[in-house]
Amino acid sequence: MSSKRCEGIGVSPGVVSGRAVVVERGVGDVPERLLEPNDIEAEVTRFDQAIDAVRSELGSVERRAGREVGEELARIFDAQKLILDDRSFVETIRSRIRDDRRNAEAAVRDVANGLQARFARIDDSYLRDRGADIETLATHLLRILLGQEALRLDHLEESVVVVAHDLSPAETATLDREHVLGFVTDAGGRTSHTAIMARSMEIPAVVGTHDATLHVQTGDRVILDGAEGVMIVNPSAEIEAEYEQKRSAYEDRESVLAAMREELAETPDGLRITLQANLESVRELEGAHRHGATGIGLYRSEFLYLRADGELPDEEAHFEEYRAILQEMGPAQVTIRTMDLGGEKSLPTALRAAGDNSLLGLRGIRRSLHDADIFAVQLRGLIRASAYGNLRIVLPFVTELAEVLEARKCIDAVAADLRQSGVAFDEDIPIGAMLEVPAASLIVEQLSDHVDFFSVGTNDLIQYLLAVDRTNDAVADLYEPLHPGVLRVLNAIATTAREREIPLCLCGEVAADPLTAMVMIGLGYEDLSMAPGSIPVIKNLVRHLPGGDARRIAREALALRTAAEVEEFALAELMAHLPDDFSVAG
C-alpha cells in the first residue's frame, strides 16, 4: 500500500499516530415507501420514538460537554433541541406520514429539505446559516430511524485521529480529549476559532488541507504532525521510524521547555517580556498556570453567551465566572473582553432580532452599544468582580472614538449605580480598546486620551487589512502576517502607543509563533498574550533573542518589499538565534 502525504496548516503541535476516523456528514440514500393504511400509526410511533431518542442523546452529549468544556459551550446543542420542541417541525412530519402515507425517513427528509430551502432564501445571513442546525438534526433523526451508528466524537471507544471536512468551534470544544489523538480538516485557517480551540486544548491539529478527507478512509493508519502541518496516510515502515524520531524529539523539546517554567521571560540583554494567556473558558486556567502565564491577557467572554437560545447569562453568571478567574489569578492582571460574538461564533436568539453578527456586522462593541441593557448586565458582573483581583476591561471591535466614549459612559453609569448601592468594586479599572479594525489602528493618537491600554488583535486586523477571511482555507496562503502593509500598521501602532505611554498588549496568534513573535518584539510589542501551550516556546525565544537584535530585525524587515522577502529574511534570523527544534510554533 503506498503512502499518501497531505499537507495543510499545522495549528497545534505534537506528533501522533493511530487509526483514522473519517467524519461522514451524510446518511446516504433515504428509502421511500408508500405506507399501507394499517401501518400508519405504527410509523408515527416509530417516528416519535426516534424523536425521544434524539432528545435523550442530545441531553447526554450536552451533559458530557458541560463536564469537558463548561456549561456555556455545551448549550450550543440547544438550537437542535429547540427545533425538536417546535410543533411545526414535528407536526409537519407527522402529517406527512399520516396524510401522504410517507415512511418516517422520507417524511423527515422532505420536511427538512423544504425548511432548508426556505432558510436559504432569507436575506439575514445569521438566519440563513440556521439551516445547518436543521440539517444536523435531520441527519441525527435519520441515523436513528435507519439504525445507523452515529459517529460520536465526544465519546470514542478507542484512540483515533479524527479527519473531517470541517469542525465547528463547538464540535472542537466537545472532542473526547482522552481518545482524540489529533485532528485534520479540509477547511480552516491558522486563526480560525477551531484552530485556536485546538491550541487551547493542546490537541495536535492540521487544518486547511483542502482535501484530506478524499485520501483517507476510516481505519487507515495515519501519522499527524501538528507543527509541520502534515498527515501521512498508510506510512511505510521507514516513514513511521522517521516520525517516531520526530515524536521523541518533540517530547524532549517539551520537557526542556517545561523546565523553563520558573525562568524569567527576559532577553540576554535584559529586556523583560510579559507572557500572558488567552482563555476561552475558566477551565483553561490550569494550562495557564502549568505553562507559567503571568496573567490573562485576553479572556474571550463571548463564550459565556453561547447559552440556551432565548436566554442570556444573567448578572450572577457573569459575576461568578469573572470572580473565579480573578480569585484564581490572585494579584496577576486579568484582561476580560466584553462580548464579541461574530463570524463563526453563533449568536443566541435573544440577541438575534437586531441584526446579524457577520464579520462586518453588528458585533463586538457595536452590538453592546446597540443593546445597552444587555451590555449593562455584563458590566455589572464585571465591575462587581473587580473587587476580587486585578481586572482590566477591553472593548472589542472598536472602530471610532465615539464608541469608546459611549462605552465609558455605560461603565460610569453602572459604577455609579453600584456605588450608590454600597457594592464594593475597584474604582480604577483600566479600560482598553482592541485594535483590530484598520480604521481604529489609524487613530491610535485620538484614542490614546480616552483609553488606559490597547490590545492589538492581529487575527482580525490582518484579516481586514488584507481582505482575507481568516477561516477560509482557499485563501489561507494569502493570510500573511508579515505582509509589509501589516508591518507598517503594527509599527505605527507601537510607535504611537510608546510616544503616548499607553500600555500595549498583543493578543493575536502572531504572538504565539516564534517567527512572527520575534518581529513583533522588535517592533516594540513587549506584552504578548497567547494560548497557554505556546508560552514556553515563546519564552525560549525571548531568552535567546537580544532585544537589540530584535529591533534591528524589525527595522530591516520594514525596509523589505514583499511578504515573501520578509519571511525569508525573518526565518534566516530566527534560525541564527534558535536551534532548529525550537523555531516552530508551540
Tell me the window of 268-276, 458-466, 533-541, 549-557 that interacts with ligand PEP (CB under 6 A): 458-466
Among candidate residues 193, 318, 483, 577, the one labeled active-site is 193
What whole-number distance in Å separates Cα of residue 261 and Cα of residue 274?
Answer: 13
Nearer to ligand PEP, 294 or 459 (CB): 459
Nearer to Mg ion, 220 or 436 (CB): 436
- 300, interface contact from ligand PEP, Mg ion, none, CB < 5-8 Å by kind: ligand PEP
Member of 460, 480, 549, 573 binding ligand PEP (CB under 6 A) = 460
Query: Which residues fall within 8 angstroms of residue 384, CB to CB, at 6 or more apart?
Result: 315, 319, 323, 418, 423, 425
Residue with the CB atom nearest ligand PEP in the bound state: 457
Tell me the window of 308-316, 457-465, 477-485, 578-586 that interacts with ligand PEP (CB under 6 A): 457-465
Nearer to ligand PEP, 267 or 463 (CB): 463
Return the biggest CA–CA distance within the chain: 86
459 binds ligand PEP (CB under 6 A): yes
Shortest reach from residue 521's CB to ligand PEP, in Å: 17
CB 345 within 8 A of CB 283: no
> Residue 327 belongs to what H/E stretch?
helix 315-329
Shortest reach from residue 395's CB to ligand PEP, in Å: 12
Binding positions for Mg ion, 460-479, rule CB under 5 A:
460
Q: Which three cell numbers stand for residue 261?
A: 517554567
What whole-number distance in Å separates Cα of residue 231 and Cα of residue 274?
Answer: 34
CA 381 to each of CA 70, 255, 316: distance values in angstroms, whole numbers, following the listed order: 18, 40, 7
What whole-number distance in Å separates Cα of residue 184 and Cα of residue 192?
Answer: 14
507 binds ligand PEP (CB under 6 A): yes
Residues 391-430: x/- map of binding to ligand PEP (CB under 6 A)? Answer: ----------------------------------------
Binding positions for Mg ion, 285-304, rule CB under 5 A:
none
8 binds Mg ion (CB under 5 A): no
Closest CA to 297 of 421, 464, 430: 430
Q: Which three cell numbers stand for residue 100?
A: 401522504
- 208, interface contact from Mg ion, ligand PEP, none, CB < 5-8 Å by kind: none
Paired with 184 in beta bridges are: 163, 206
Shortest reach from residue 525's CB to Mg ion, in Å: 16
Query: Which residues fall within 8 angstroms of residue 147, CB to CB, at 6 or more apart?
Result: none
Site size for Mg ion (CB under 5 A): 3
Tell me the window of 167-175, 253-261, 453-461, 562-570 that interacts with ligand PEP (CB under 6 A): 453-461
Instruction: Clarify whether 410 is annotated catalytic.
Output: no
Nearer to ligand PEP, 131 or 532 (CB): 532
What whole-number distance in Å separates Cα of residue 495 and Cα of residue 525?
Answer: 10
Residue with the CB atom nearest Mg ion in the bound state: 460
Closest CA to 490 of 554, 586, 566: 554
Nearer to ligand PEP, 131 or 524 (CB): 524
> Residue 412 belongs to what H/E stretch?
helix 401-420
Nearer to ligand PEP, 140 or 470 (CB): 470
76 binds ligand PEP (CB under 6 A): no
Member of 300, 363, 367, 483 binding ligand PEP (CB under 6 A) = 300
Nearer to Mg ion, 105 or 460 (CB): 460
- 389, interface contact from Mg ion, ligand PEP, none, CB < 5-8 Å by kind: none
Dihedral, CA of residue 78, residue 80, residue 81 and residue 86, to nearest 10: 130
CB 192 within 8 A of CB 470: yes
436 binds ligand PEP (CB under 6 A): yes
Q: Please identify which residue in the block is written with the cell numbers 531568552.
A: 543
80 binds ligand PEP (CB under 6 A): no
Tell me the window of 200-208, 263-271, 454-462, 534-542 that interacts with ligand PEP (CB under 6 A): 454-462
516 binds ligand PEP (CB under 6 A): no
> Residue 377 belongs to what H/E stretch?
helix 372-385
- 458, interface contact from ligand PEP, Mg ion, none, CB < 5-8 Å by kind: ligand PEP
- 508, interface contact from ligand PEP, Mg ion, none, CB < 5-8 Å by kind: ligand PEP
468 binds ligand PEP (CB under 6 A): no
- 507, interface contact from ligand PEP, Mg ion, none, CB < 5-8 Å by kind: ligand PEP
| DSSP secondary structure code for residue 400 in this structure | S
Among candidate residues 6, 140, 291, 507, the one labeled active-site is 507
Residues 431-460: x/- map of binding to Mg ion (CB under 5 A)? Answer: -----x--------------------x--x
Q: Which three cell numbers stand for residue 239?
A: 516513514
CB 183 within 8 A of CB 216: no
What whole-number distance in Å separates Cα of residue 306 and Cα of residue 236?
Answer: 44
Member of 458, 491, 496, 540 binding ligand PEP (CB under 6 A) = 458
Q: Please identify which residue in the block is written with the cell numbers 501522533.
A: 16
Q: Which three cell numbers stand for residue 535?
A: 508560552
Tell me the window of 124-132, 143-151, 416-424, 452-460 that interacts with ligand PEP (CB under 6 A): 452-460
Site size for ligand PEP (CB under 6 A): 9
> Residue 434 belongs to what H/E stretch?
strand 431-435
Q: Which three cell numbers stand for residue 211?
A: 482535501
Q: Please identify which residue in the block is written with the cell numbers 472589542.
A: 396
Closest CA to 352 of 344, 338, 362, 360: 362
- 364, interface contact from ligand PEP, Mg ion, none, CB < 5-8 Å by kind: none
Paired with 299 in beta bridges are: 279, 336
How wide is the angle at C-alpha 464 spanned by C-alphas 460 and 469, nearest 5°?
A: 80
Closest CA to 342 of 364, 317, 313: 364
188 binds ligand PEP (CB under 6 A): no
Instruction: Clarify whether 507 is annotated catalytic.
Output: yes
List contacts with Mg ion (CB under 5 A). 436, 457, 460
Q: Rule CB under 6 A: which residues touch ligand PEP?
A: 298, 300, 436, 457-460, 507-508
Any idea which residues carry the catalytic annotation? Answer: 193, 507
